A and B are shown apart, each in its own frame.
Chain A
Amino acid sequence: MSRPIPFCDFCTPSEQLAHVDPKDLPPLPPPYDKWEEKPWTPLSQTARTEREATLDDTLAVGVPKPKNKQEEDELVAAFLRGLDKLFTSENNWTFLHPLMLSMEHCARCQTCSEACHTFVESGRNEVYRPAFRSEILRRLYHQRRSGGGLLSRWQRGGIELNWTTVSRLLELSYRCNLCRRCAQTCPIGVDNGLISREIRKLFSQELGIAAKEIHEKGSMLQLRVGSSTGMNSLVVKDNLEFIDEDMTTKTGLPVKTPWDVQGADILLMHNAGEILAWPENPGAFGIILDAAGVKWTLSSEAVAYDAINYGLWYDDVQYARVLIKHVQAAAKLGVKKVIMGECGHAHKAMMVIGNRVVPADMAVPVESTLPYIESLVDGGKLKLDPKRNDFAVTLHDPCNVVRLMGIVEPQRRILRKLAPKFREMEPHGVDNYCCGGGSGFAIMSGNNFGEWRTRIASRRKFRQILEAFQDDLDPKHPKYVCAPCSNCKGAIRDVLKYYEAEERVGIHYGGLVELIVNAMTDAKPGFLEFSAA
């Protein structure tokens, strides 16, 4: 039986509150059943001395240590101001309703715990229990609301408020992927994922504190330069031109990315990270759309050539700023509809959340790539031969697209048609597990956070992938993890690399459109290259 972390310990200064012993990590399936887990790469001495690094073995935000007690008190006071604002309609109309209900009605039954991949795969380390951070915020909220009286402590439980509590709560909000699998299991409807997000939001919108990869180098860079990759419009166009040439050579099919076509049938929006990290993905889109005779375009408008919207994970204002730029770019081109490329959070940002941010007269119809590409696969213009995909394929369900949007079957129908050795992960669909990269983790790797993400947050996904391929572990036989989401691919890439899964088991990964191009008979064979095979 787990021993809980007493809430009073959370508030008491100590060198490190929680530690995951690598020996406690649950064993993986073959051929990793004898895998020796290495000790953690320790945080640097600088990180330990200059940053608030007392939660666990890693650091996601790494807020600088206050210089003195007065500075600590000022930060705590700012936190309290943020807490007050979080529960007002004018400052948080966006999520006040679900947040209030989640604050008021948790029975603390812990039914959610076993649904959380991070909690379970950490060896059930108590600090990652999904209700832990929620309970801390809940106690702080009720104490604040009641003036910290005895009645509140009697009814809701107490907690001491000090800088240790506040700084640890900040770090702890970045140990949750916001995948909301826990919320799915709550019999009452409490949403720990939402609470994590709202904690992040409080810190970002009131104190200006957030993980630098998603704020400073993420949404701020996107709004200043045009993309979180740092690419401006000219560089993006230049890179796409290079990708077009490369794809034309590789497939023998002429590809030319169209830019800023007025009145196009579709405006395609990519996560710009694809252009740099997985150029074959935007390349494959171009090949398919051209072969299907679609009148399509990309936008060279700043911000709009990058579909990402990191505000979704931590800040409503940043989220709205990026969303409006995306919508304005689509309206300016007068396209019939926007198609979101293979990026899960961009799907949700533009299609679900955005629906109630932008007044309806400004909105442009937005559709997921998955049903749209299925319509092209079924449309008859693409000549496809499934035998070209004669290798084992499994499908990762990006949380944002599947559990949070209900797009479940189109991608499966494509795979059933084009991948004869397709098999599901278990569980899958809306019950899937996060890749471990959700909520920004895929792009966060400062200090040793990348290692924490790979070894704990992505561990369940790696387990699922291995289980899906247990029938043939021979590295000479290629296997493909189809992950139609950019951040998911990033997390899966890192976990496969960490465990040398390509060399040891022959596991590769990529998107959905790459598999489709690989099956196109008009293209030269071997679009997908499996080096270890």
Chain B
Amino acid sequence: MVLYLVPFAAAVIFIIAVVVRALKIRSLPIHLRWELYPVAHEKNARYGGSFFEHVDWWKKPRESSMAGELGVMIPEILLLKGVHEHNRSLWWRSFPFHFGLYVLAGFVALLLVGALAMAADVEVGPRAHGLGLVLHWLTLIAGVGGCALLALGSLALLVRRLSDPVLREYSAVADFLNLVLFLAAAGVTLAAWATADRDFFWLRGFFYGVVTFHFESGVPFPPLVVAEIVLGSVLLAYIPLTHMSHFFTKYFMWHDIRWDDKVNEKGGKMDARIKELLGQKVSWSAPHIQGEGKKSWLDVATEEVTKK
């Protein structure tokens, strides 16, 4: 029973941490435009062109392409295209690490589907037929493949962080321990598979308990399976609490900053918001401002600089 609480608690922490962080980012005030070209949704993104290339650009309809954004984001997220282009030696280490995590997310999804299938009286395993057999093999490949990639990637990244004097100097203790945690989670899962759970029978059984709310297996789980469940849960809860939350904040950094070329137009929501922000009190103390919480942005921006 207690074991089942661990992933539930982890999932709750994960969801709360992601939602809180996303809300916190969303609550930040609108910022001045700071885009960086190529802006992926622009018509001429292939060479980095923008609507500013046109005479009387404000009279022209704005063309924005969602496909353009997806065309950049998908290879960026799945294949780490930017790292591949700009830091190839790191890519060989970082790609298996990240791709391993994606595969493991698929592994968890397959375990859930397998558990649901079992709840629907579909046999899942090496001796099953049809869907059950497909699920078995996909789960096996995703679990072993994902863990192998993650273990390889986290070990390679750890070695790089320890052996490269620059990376070592810039790293905090947590950066090393994070990688150790990933390595341990992947290693323990592989060990559990190799020694006690070759068909992920136990793990799928655990998920069966989760989806059916049947928290008593009757037979104790093997220690390595317990360890993989605990470590996986710890990782799930821990990631969004750290800078590794870039797995979703990247959206805001690219979509809301790098590609944010929205024009402030008369009568729009943005314009109203900017007027509000200009009314905020400023407390910067430099002699040429002396806001001290009494002057608004509008006051300091419009006051005359004395002629000396």
Contact = CB atoms under 8 A, between A and B. Distances in A.
A457 B257 CA distance: 27
Interface in A313-335: 317-318, 320-321, 324
Interface string A85-105: 100011101111110111011
B32 A95 contact: yes
Contact of A89 (B29, B32, B55): B29
A360 B265 contact: yes
A4 B166 CA distance: 5
A25 interface: no
A371 interface: yes
B38 A96 contact: no
B90 interface: yes
A97 B283 contact: no
Given A93-B29, A223-B305, A430-B38, A365 B58 contact: yes
Contacts of B170: 4, 108, 110, 131, 135, 157
Which of B55, B302, B307 has the largest number of chain A CB atoms within 10 A?
B55
Nearest to B166: A4
Contact of B56 (A89, A114, A365): A365
Interface string B153-196: 00000000000111111111111000000000000000000000
B284 A353 contact: no
A185 B35 contact: no
Given A187-B80, A208-B287, A317-B300, A355 B249 contact: no
Which of A91, A109, A368 has the largest number of chain B CB atoms within 10 A?
A109
Contact of B174 (A97, A109, A155, A407): A155
B285 to A, nearest CB: 6
A111 B51 CA distance: 30
B92 interface: no
B165 A4 contact: yes
B288 A1 contact: no
B306 to A, nearest CB: 7
B76 to A, nearest CB: 7
B285 A81 contact: yes
Nearest to B50: A406
Interface in B264-308: 264-268, 270-271, 274-275, 277-278, 280-289, 297, 300-308
Contacts of B258: 183, 189
A105 B280 CA distance: 28
Contact of B42 (A4, A208, A317, A406): A406
B164 A1 contact: yes
A70 interface: no
B286 A204 contact: yes
Contacts of A129: 166
Contact of A356 (B30, B48, B303): B30
A188 interface: yes
B83 A187 contact: yes
B33 interface: yes
B141 interface: no
Contacts of A61: none
A351 B52 contact: yes
Contact of B172 (A156, A185, A361): A156
Nearest to B263: A355
Nearest to B177: A154
B52 A368 contact: yes
Closest 3 CB pairs of A and B: A406-B50, A189-B253, A430-B48
Given A1-B166, A187-B83, 6 more contacts: A97-B25, A97-B256, A220-B305, A317-B300, A317-B301, A406-B44
